[in-house]
Amino acid sequence: SVAKDLTRLEEIEVKRCKELVEIVGKEKKGGEGEGIITQHVLLPRLTTLTLEQLPRLKYSIHPTKQQSD
């Protein structure tokens, strides 16, 4: 699944997207043709995040503090 593969993601690079509003952000239910975006995506291996020329970007990745057991 896509969510499972996200846990292995090490790098995100997004450049020159005029219409991009959010990457992984606050949970919301989309309108027709849109899915649900959740704020509980974990990216434990992410080391590099590159964002350039994204004039409409409102939300990127909201880090959450993980609790240890």
What would the pLDDT profile of 10-31 be if each residue is shown by its tens digit? 998 999 999 988 876 555 555 5
Which residues form the domain of 48? 2-52
Place of tokens 């846990």: 7
Is 9 domain-assigned?
Answer: yes
Strand ranges, E, within 16-55: 28-29, 36-37, 48-52
Task: Please report whether residue 42 resides in a domain.
Answer: yes
Number of domains in the chain: 1
- Model-wide pTM > 0.85: no
In whole angstroms, give the CA distance from residue 8 to residue 16.
25
